[in-house]
Amino acid sequence: MSATAYANAEKTLTQKGWLDLEVDPTLDLVAEIQKLKKEKNAVILAHYYQESEIQDIADFIGDSLQLSQQAAKTDADVIVFAGVHFMAETAKMLSPQKKVLLPDLNAGCSLADSAPAPLFRKFKEKYPNHIVVSYVNCTAELKTLTDICCTSSNAVQIIESIPKDQPIIFAPDKNLGAYLVKKTGRDMVLWNGACMVHEIFSNEKITKLMHRHPNAKFIAHPECEAHILDKADYIGSTSGLLKYTEESDATEFIVATEPGIIHQMQLRSPHKTFIPAPPNNACACNECPHMRLNTMEKLYLCMKYELPEITLPEWVIKEGRVCIDRMLEISAKAGL
C-alpha cells in the first residue's frame, strides 16, 4: 500500500469513521477479504455475536476463552479481531509483537465501561485483604488491577482454584458474580456492573413463550439476571450453550443471550428450532449494539489499510497480562 493511500485512509478514519470511505458495492467482499488474508498472513478471529457473514469468513469462531487461547497461539502476523474492544486488547496483550486490528474502534462494551479503572482502584482500597477476579469483559487498565481473569466458560473453576479462606472481589459483572456466589458458595464482594444486552430479557415474555413451547428447553448465559437464570434448564457461556443444543435430545430451544450465536446453533443442528428470548422493550431484537458495529465493509477496509490498530502502553501490556496468563494456566490445568 502506498504511503499516500495509508495517510488518506488514516485521515478518513480519524475524522469521520469508516462509513464515509466508500466501498464499491459491486466488490466481492468475501473474495477480497480472503485475498487480503493470504497477502498479509492475517487471521480473523470472530466472536459468536458477530453477524453471520463475518462468522462465515472467520478462521476461528469462539467464545471469549477460546478466542484468547487462539490469540495466544496463532502464528499469523496480523490478528483481525471481529469482536469488541476489550477482546482485541486481550489479544494484543497476549501477542504484543503482532499487529492487532479491530474493524470499528467504537465497538466497546457496557460491562467494560461500567468499571472505570480510577474508580475501581478506590473501591479496591476498601478491601485490602481481598484478591481481585475480573471477568475478561473489562478494560486493559482494569486488568492491571486484577489478580486473576476469568470468562464465563471458566469462572467456576477459577473461583474454586482460590483457597476458601481468601476473600475475593469480583468485577465487573454483578449478575455473573451473583451466579458464581450461588454456584460456588463463596461470599464475594461484587462490583455493580452489568451487560446491557443480558440485562433486558423480559421475564413475562419468556414465561409466555415457555407456555407456548412446553417442550422447548430454556437456556441462558450467566450474564442474565438471577430471576431469568432461575427459570433456565441450562446456564452456560456461548460455547457451553452451543454444545448443549448439539448434545440435547430436545428439538426446540429458547435462547437467552445475544442472538448471533443462533447462526452456529442452526448450522450445527439444522433440524432443531431456536427461538431468541425476547427483551423487555418495544423492539423484538436483542443484538449487542457494540458487537454489531462490525460489518463486512469495515472488515474489508480494516484489512486493506491495516487500521484501526490496537496499541497499548508497554506497562499496561506487562501488568495487565499477568491475570490473563494466570487464567489460561488454571484453564489448561482444568482441561478447558
- DSSP summary character for residue 198: G
- How many other C-beta atoms can be found within 10 angstroms of the C-beta atom of residue 47? 26
Q: What are phi and psi of 309, to 5 degrees?
A: -100, 145
CA distances from 181 to 22, 168, 232 (A): 50, 11, 17
Nearer to ligand SF4, 36 or 219 (CB): 219
**Cα distance between residue 4 and residue 129, in whole Å:** 55
Q: What are phi and psi of 195, to 5 degrees?
A: -90, 130
- CA–chain centroid gap for 318, Å, is 22
Q: Does 64 bind ligand 13P (CB under 6 A)?
A: yes
Applying CB under 6 A, which of residues 63, 89, 104, 225 lies at the interface with ligand 13P?
63
Q: Does 331 bind ligand 13P (CB under 6 A)?
A: no
Q: Does 153 bind ligand 13P (CB under 6 A)?
A: yes
Taking contact as CB under 6 A, which single stretch among the options 70-78, 145-153, 306-314, 324-332 is the one that binds ligand 13P? 145-153
Applying CB under 6 A, which of residues 70, 90, 139, 151 lies at the interface with ligand 13P?
151
| Contact string (CB under 6 A) for ligand 13P, positions 125-144, x = contact | ------------x-------
Nearer to ligand SF4, 110 or 331 (CB): 110
Nearer to ligand 13P, 307 or 327 (CB): 327
Q: Which distant-in-sequence residues (6+ apart) come within 8 Å of 321 by Cβ?
A: 93, 94, 143
- How many other C-beta atoms can be found within 10 angstroms of the C-beta atom of residue 128? 7
Least distance to ligand 13P, CB of residue 84, Å:
6
Cα distance from N-terminal residue to C-terminal residue, the chain: 41
Nearer to ligand 13P, 12 or 257 (CB): 257
Least distance to ligand SF4, CB of residue 75, Å:
27
Least distance to ligand 13P, CB of residue 137, Å:
5
Q: What residues from 205 to 234 belong to the interface with ligand 13P (CB under 6 A)?
A: 223
Nearer to ligand SF4, 76 or 133 (CB): 133
Exposed (0-12), middle (13-18) or buried (19+): which is 29, by Cβ within 10 Å? middle
Least distance to ligand SF4, CB of residue 49, Å:
6
Q: Which residues bind ligand SF4 (CB under 6 A)?
A: 49, 84, 109-111, 137, 195-197, 258, 288, 290-291
Q: Does 50 bind ligand 13P (CB under 6 A)?
A: no
Are residues 156 and 125 in contact, defined by beta-carbon separation less than 8 angstroms?
A: no
Q: Does 173 bind ligand 13P (CB under 6 A)?
A: no
Nearer to ligand SF4, 148 or 197 (CB): 197
Q: Select the binding partner of residue 110 from ligand SF4, ligand 13P, none (C-beta < 5 to 8 A, by kind).
A: ligand SF4
Are residues 232 and 218 in contact, defined by beta-carbon separation less than 8 angstroms?
A: yes
Q: Which distant-in-sequence residues (6+ apart) come within 8 Å of 333 by Cβ?
A: none
**Cα distance between residue 235 and residue 220, in whole Å:** 5
Least distance to ligand SF4, CB of residue 12, Å:
26
Q: Select the binding partner of residue 237 from ligand SF4, ligand 13P, none (C-beta < 5 to 8 A, by kind).
A: ligand 13P
Question: What is the signed CA dihedral for 322, 172, 132, 70, rounded to 10 degrees?
Answer: -30
Nearer to ligand 13P, 131 or 336 (CB): 336
- DSSP summary character for residue 275: E
**Cα distance between residue 84 and residue 106, in whole Å:** 8
Chain positions contacting ligand 13P, by CB under 6 A:
63-64, 137, 151-153, 195, 223, 237-238
